[in-house]
Amino acid sequence: MPDLHSIITFAVASVALLLIPGPAVIYVLNRSVSDGREVGLAAVAGLELGNFVHVIAATVGLSAILATSATAFNIVKLLGASYLILVGIRTLLRHPQQIASDSTSISLRRSFTQGIIVNTLNPKVALFFLSYLPQFIDADQGAAWSQALVLGSTFVFIGCLTDGMYALTASALRGVLLRGRTLPFVQRYVAGTVFIALGIAAATTSPSASK
32-49 pLDDT, tens digit per residue, is 877 788 989 999 999 999
Mean pLDDT over all residues of the chain? 76
What is the C-alpha separation between 38 and 69, in angstroms, rounded? 47
What is the C-alpha separation between 151 and 51, in angstroms, rounded? 12
Please give the pLDDT value at position 210: 35
**How many domains in the chain?**
1
Residue numbers of the domain that contains 27: 4-204
Whether residue 202 has pLDDT greater than 70 = no
Q: Please return the burial class of 211, using the count of CB atoms within 10 Å of its CB with bins 0-12, 13-18 and 19+.
A: exposed
Instruction: Tell me the three state secondary structure of residue 188.
Output: helix
High-pLDDT (> 70) share of the chain, %: 70
Whether residue 173 has pLDDT greater than 90 = no
Whether residue 135 has pLDDT greater than 50 = yes
Please give the pLDDT value at position 59: 81
Please give the pLDDT value at position 45: 95
**Mean pLDDT computed over 49-70:** 75
101 domain residue, yes or no: yes
First to last CA, the chain: 15
Per the document, the length of the chain is 211
What is the C-alpha separation between 163 and 170, in angstroms, rounded? 10
162 domain residue, yes or no: yes
Question: Long-range contacts: 157-165, Cβ < 8 Å, 24+?
Answer: 158/11, 158/14, 158/15, 158/18, 159/14, 159/18, 159/24, 159/47, 159/48, 159/51, 160/44, 160/48, 162/15, 162/18, 162/19, 163/18, 163/24, 163/25, 163/28, 163/44, 163/47, 163/48, 164/41, 164/44
209 domain residue, yes or no: no
175: number of Cβ within 10 Å = 9
pLDDT bin (cut points 50, 70, 90) of residue 96 is low
For residue 180, how far is the Cα from the chain centroid?
Answer: 24
